[in-house]
Structure 1
Amino acid sequence: MIHITARLHQDDNGAAHVAIYATDPDHAASSEPSPFPCGVLTMSPAAGAELVARVQAGESEQTITPEQAAHVLWHFDATGGMEPGSFTQALITTIASADRTNMLRMAAIYPGYVGACNLAQNHEDGIRVLQGLARQMLVPAPQDGGEHRG
């Protein structure tokens, strides 16, 4: 699992700079974040503080949505895939062909797609896991008290 951390720094002009750090304990000698950020974003102090809080709360942890799973399955020509739009197709192609350093950089912004590509490419049962996630798109949500009405 890729871990993402963020640190907030404010400059003399009042702008916030959020440094994004990503580590992949499965492929690194240490589980400590790199001393060098994989990205720096400049924003208002309030927006920077909100982003850091969201990262610290784990909101950007690798969570793969059913739609992301279906898009990645389509890319790998697997059953259960759904064709994404042209931007998402290019994004998945880029992620799937990226080296570890660039994949970690993209994980800071697109954790679900990076996680799904990682499953498809590096885990024996990754396609099966993604197919299970993608199937969730086909299950109708329960209505009125949690019962499904067929």
Structure 2
Amino acid sequence: MDHAITPEAANHVLFHYGRGGYQAGSFTTHLLCAFATADEQNFFRLSEAFPEYGAAVAAIQYDPKGVTNLTIIAQGEVAA
């Protein structure tokens, strides 16, 4: 799923979870709040509309290497 994550999305998600990055605008901040509180069905729906954010939120919430991978992507590199 990492292929869908843009450096911008990685930075926004890292910031939202207090792990670096930089703050998003108000719409994206609210979107990240929606992702963070969504049940599985609504998370899927949001991910269909915003795949880069869905992949990034899933990475930081469920992948033990998610923060590392998002940091690499945020810096413009390719995550392993």
Q: Same fold (TM over 0.5)?
A: yes
Residue aligning to 2:35: 95
**Equivalent position amino acid for 2:22 in 1:** M
TM-score between both structures, scaled by the size of structure 1? 0.49
Report what 1:44 is aligned to: none
Please state if 1:78 is matched with 2:19.
yes
Could you state the TM-score of these two structures normalised by the residue count of structure 2?
A: 0.89
Percent identity between matched residues is 37
Q: Secondary structure at the match of 2:4?
A: coil
Say which SS state the counterpart of residue 18 (structure 2) adopts. Answer: coil
- Per-residue deviation, 1:136: 1.0
Instruction: Report which of the two has the higher share of strand.
Output: 1
Alignment of 1:14-33 (within 5 A): none
Report the aligned-residue RMSD.
Answer: 1.7
Supply the distance in 1 between the matched residues of 2:23 and 2:49 (Cα, whole angstroms). Answer: 21
Deviation at 1:108, TM superposition (A): 1.0
CA distance in 2, matches of 1:97, 1:66: 23
Please name the residue that 1:128 is paired with.
68
Q: Pairwise mapping of residues 1-150 of structure 1 onto structure 2 (< 5 A)?
A: 1=1, 63-79=4-20, 81-136=21-76
The structure that is helix-richer by fraction is 2
Deviations, residues 53-78 of structure 1 (Å, cap 9, x unaligned): xxxxxxxxx60100000000000000
Higher Rg of the two aligned structures: 1
Residue 97 of structure 1 deviates from its aligned partner by 1.2
Question: 1 or 2 for the larger relative contact order (CA 8 Å, sep ≥6)?
Answer: 2
Task: Report the AA paired with residue 73 of structure 1.
Answer: L
